[in-house]
Chains A and B, each alone.
Chain A
Amino acid sequence: GENVEQHPSTLSVQEGDSAVIKCTYSDSASNYFPWYKQELGKRPQLIIDIRSNVGEKKDQRIAVTLNKTAKHFSLHITETQPEDSAVYFCAASMTHAGGTSYGKLTFGQGTILTVHP
């Protein structure tokens, strides 16, 4: 089955700096890669996602890049703010019509991001 590795496990930055989190996946059939933000004791919330037909997607201060050949994707947060502090999870999924994965997500281990004021 799919395996997703995420690095680093912890990341500490100063407010205003950029933060980068990287993930690799094992199954070349995966074609959907969401990123979730989870604050302490709260539910995971989707912040951005990318499909395998594009290499980069941006939404204000957040961007995701995908390298299908190398099977890795990254989350970039610019101009970090203290409220960005949370655990971030990458995930991979296969969304092929008629397939049997049903879109179930395989998650990375998570990155604890701390933004210091």
Chain B
Amino acid sequence: GAGVSQSPRYKVAKRGQDVALRCDPISGHVSLFWYQQALGQGPEFLTYFQNEAQLDKSGLPSDRFFAERPEGSVSTLKIQRTQQEDSAVYLCASSLLEYNEQFFGPGTRLTVL
């Protein structure tokens, strides 16, 4: 398929565990965004990549959250020492360039017990 894909679709973690969430953007898309969507809320911006450069990480809620996109395509969002408040759907979106339409992936639903 040509859309944005994310894996895993569901992740259950025990409090204190580390997790890694993967995003495969649309091929050729320069811009990649991560958003966090709490239950019943709109998505909230976490971080932005232009190719491999992380240009904005102002939305990351704590230093336990880390994102990378080393080769300018696939991106990984890592959460260390997960807490219950990290439970949410994590959405990835890509766009051809930074001000174009954003295409969203299906999200990863993270549940921290």
A-contacting residues, B87-112, CB 8 Å = 91, 95, 98-107
Count of A-B contacts with CB under 8 A?
Answer: 62
Query: What 1/0 flags go to B38-54 for Cβ under 8 Å of A?
Result: 00111111001010000
Tell me, rounded to whole Å, the shortest Cβ–Cβ distance linking A7 to chain B: 13
CA distance A53 to B66 in the complex (A): 37
Determine if A44 is an interface residue (Cβ-Cβ < 8 Å).
yes
Given contacts A104-B33, A107-B44, A110-B41, contact A49 B101 (CB under 8 A): yes
**B101 cross-chain contacts in A, Cβ below 8 A:** 34, 46, 49
Could you tell me how many residues of chain B have their Cβ less than 8 Å away from some Cβ of chain A?
27
Determine if A106 is an interface residue (Cβ-Cβ < 8 Å).
yes
| Interface size bracket, A side | 20 to 34
**B18 cross-chain contacts in A, Cβ below 8 A:** none
Q: Which residue of A lies closest to B42 (CB)?
A: A107
**B107 cross-chain contacts in A, Cβ below 8 A:** 43
Q: Interface of B with A (CB < 8 Å)?
A: 4, 31, 33, 35, 40-45, 48, 50, 55-56, 59, 91, 95, 98-107
> 18 A-B residue contacts at CB 8 Å?
A4-B42, A6-B42, A34-B102, A36-B104, A42-B106, A43-B106, A46-B103, A49-B101, A89-B42, A89-B43, A95-B99, A100-B56, A102-B55, A103-B99, A105-B43, A105-B45, A109-B42, A110-B40
Q: Which 4 A-B pairs have the closest CB atoms?
A: A107-B42, A95-B99, A43-B104, A103-B99
Q: Interface of A with B (CB < 8 Å)?
A: 4, 6, 32, 34, 36, 42-46, 49, 89, 91, 93, 95, 97, 100, 102-110
